[in-house]
Structure 1
Amino acid sequence: MGNHMAKVQITQIRSIIKRPKNQKATIAALGLGKINKTVEKENTPQLQGMINKVSHLVKVQDV
């Protein structure tokens, strides 16, 4: 099975209040912003980089 086009589900599990601006921007770029909100995205290297920046705020699951 190829790795391309794999999807991941990203769920925000912590508030972004009192977080640095760049983390808030990353959460917004992921389409999140509310606790327990979930988005489905294609798993790209760019996405992995974004997830790593806010990994303490989100939960990631393969779809």
Structure 2
Amino acid sequence: MADKQIKVTLVRGLVNRTPNQRVNVKQLGLHKIGQSVIVPDDPVHRGIIQKVRHMVTVEEAN
């Protein structure tokens, strides 16, 4: 597989977050604390992750 992928895990909840932060977490496909998704490592997803970096952890997907 030529495209790199990253694993994003939600580690903080959505309570008391701004509407934009909630939308960004939903765009990543995350709903619950502890849930993980694998997304392509591209500038679009990196930008979304940057906006909610205090709420997620990022690691390389195998």
Q: Which structure 1 residue ranges, 5 or more long, are not aligned?
A: none
Q: TM-score, normalised by structure 2?
A: 0.93
Find 1:42's aligned residue among 40, 43, 46.
Answer: 40
Deviation, 1:33, is 1.8
Per-residue CA deviation, residues 16-50 of structure 1 (Å, 9 max, x unaligned), is: 11100000000000000210000001111000000
The answer to whether structure 1 residue 31 and structure 2 residue 53 are counterparts is no
Partner of 2:60: 62
Q: Which structure 2 residue ranges, 5 or more long, are not aligned?
A: none
Partner of 1:7: 5
Q: Which amino acid in structure 2 is aligned with residue 51 of structure 1?
A: I
Which segments of structure 1 move beyond 4 Å, counting only runs of 4 or more? none
Q: What is the aligned residue count?
A: 60
CA distance, structure 2, for counterparts of residue 14 and residue 49 of structure 1: 18
The answer to whether structure 1 residue 18 and structure 2 residue 2 are counterparts is no
The alignment's C-alpha RMSD in Å is: 0.9
Q: TM-score, normalised by structure 1?
A: 0.91
**Counterpart secondary structure, 2:14:** coil
